[in-house]
Chain A
């Protein structure tokens, strides 16, 4: 909504994969399970992370090494293992094993009761006796509605907080639990800012411009209620969109894959015009909700693809197989996607404000000093 109203979406190419989700449902198995000493194994029972500059494979958890490496590196390592055919095939796609057995029943019950419960319930595996099947799952969008440190956007009176916002505390690769900061700190600031503006403005009748906008919005929904026989369904387009984004704009991207996805998404965007609303009820109509959401998701997906296409480097969660190096000279900048009705968004750039943390080389495992 903010995007369509004219606020740019910032850094949309950065999408975080969490390395240990359950296959099928995507339920997360917390980083804590690796923090306690859980290890990741490929189909040969080998701790494959040591092959990706994350070693040495100590038998105990070591900070910033092996299983405690960053989320993007771990997810990328899975991708490579999959290409090498060293992952395990299941009904819900390829997986690797997260092995907690060395921890023993007592420690698992004490420290990771929820992990045990989730694994037993949703994949039928008791981590005390068997390894849990896991795979990388899409987790968090680092990018979002461009906002300043006060949670304010470029439209006066419009504030944003949470995952939809991009204050830029996450850079190109978010750390675990940062969403708490997003909500508590910037949620509070957004609320305070909005209250300030509301207190300072007088109640007036909405201007004719706003009235017109409201009528246009109502008209769009009424049109949906009136249209019949379009033939396209929410689930059909949504599933196609999922596959398109996963294939072309997933853990690794290339110019070709992104262009292909871009074309496909444009096609999906066009077909969306033929979507048919089946539920015509005025009360709690979730079919309508899903149609509106899908329309917004298609716009967001296109912002992700175009932002990713234009960032010709690899940084954090944005990894290009055709540009594997980080290029601070050209791209130590935020991307800003601007909405253009019916077309691909325009991308502009803004310099990064660097305060305390300076960009450095990312070295993990045995390579650390």
Chain B
């Protein structure tokens, strides 16, 4: 025998351009950076609020500037992408079986969207009541 298996190499970088599904995956991974950044911003805002009215108003002023609005739009897009891609795979990670019947995936996904909508609505109402 003269076996001599040939090993192909995969580049550490750039492999995600090899197939759309890898690109979609990397986009999902990247989206968490924006979700994280927005989380940081919220923490920062709370800190400013705790510091006093002047600091808070300065921040609000900054938030209304065009670059800030631009960031918010981009962050929103990534947050939506993040949420939707994760919600859509929940039936895979958390399948529900009742008796010998598998719970339809649509209902599991739908429940997530429903809870999301309810929590968002509750926040809006609370925010509205505060002003």
Q: Which residue of A lies closest to B2 (CB)?
A: A282
List B contacts of A282 (CB < 8 A).
1-2
B3 within 8 A of partner (CB): yes
Q: Which residue of B lies closest to A282 (CB)?
A: B2
Closest CB in chain B relative to A222 CB, distance in Å: 14
A289 within 8 A of partner (CB): no
Tell me the bound Cα distance from A63 to B112 in angstroms: 50
Tell me the bound Cα distance from A301 to B124 in angstroms: 81
Tell me the bound Cα distance from A283 to B4 in angstroms: 9
List B contacts of A283 (CB < 8 A).
1-4
- Mask: chain B, 21-62; 1 = CB below 8 Å from A; 0 = not: 000000000000000000000000000000000000000000
- Mask: chain B, 1-26; 1 = CB below 8 Å from A; 0 = not: 11110000000000000000000000
Tell me the bound Cα distance from A345 to B2 in angstroms: 39
Q: Which residue of B lies closest to A281 (CB)?
A: B2
What range describes how many residues of A lie at the interface? under 10
The A-B contact count (CB < 8 A) is 6
What range describes how many residues of B lie at the interface? under 10
List A contacts of B4 (CB < 8 A).
283
Which residues 204-231 in A have Cβ within 8 Å of B in the complex?
none
Closest CB in chain A relative to B69 CB, distance in Å: 51
Which residues 254-290 in A have Cβ within 8 Å of B in the complex?
282-283
Closest CB in chain B relative to A198 CB, distance in Å: 25
- Mask: chain A, 277-318; 1 = CB below 8 Å from B; 0 = not: 000001100000000000000000000000000000000000
Tell me the bound Cα distance from A283 to B2 in angstroms: 6
Closest CB in chain A relative to B130 CB, distance in Å: 53
Closest CB in chain A relative to B65 CB, distance in Å: 57
List A contacts of B3 (CB < 8 A).
283
Tell me the bound Cα distance from A313 to B38 in angstroms: 86
Closest CB in chain B relative to A64 CB, distance in Å: 31
Tell me the bound Cα distance from A282 to B2 in angstroms: 6
Tell me the bound Cα distance from A115 to B58 in angstroms: 69
List A contacts of B2 (CB < 8 A).
282-283
Q: Which residue of B lies closest to A284 (CB)?
A: B3
Closest CB in chain A relative to B14 CB, distance in Å: 32
Tell me the bound Cα distance from A323 to B2 in angstroms: 56
Closest CB in chain A relative to B4 CB, distance in Å: 8
- Mask: chain B, 53-97; 1 = CB below 8 Å from A; 0 = not: 000000000000000000000000000000000000000000000
Q: Which residue of A lies closest to B5 (CB)?
A: A283
Tell me the bound Cα distance from A282 to B3 in angstroms: 8
Q: Which residues of B contact A (CB under 8 A)?
A: 1-4
- 6 residue pairs bridging A and B, Cβ less than 8 Å apart: A282-B1, A282-B2, A283-B1, A283-B2, A283-B3, A283-B4
Q: Which residues of A contact B (CB under 8 A)?
A: 282-283
What are the 6 A-B residue pairs with the smallest beta carbon separation, nearest first? A282-B2, A283-B3, A282-B1, A283-B2, A283-B1, A283-B4
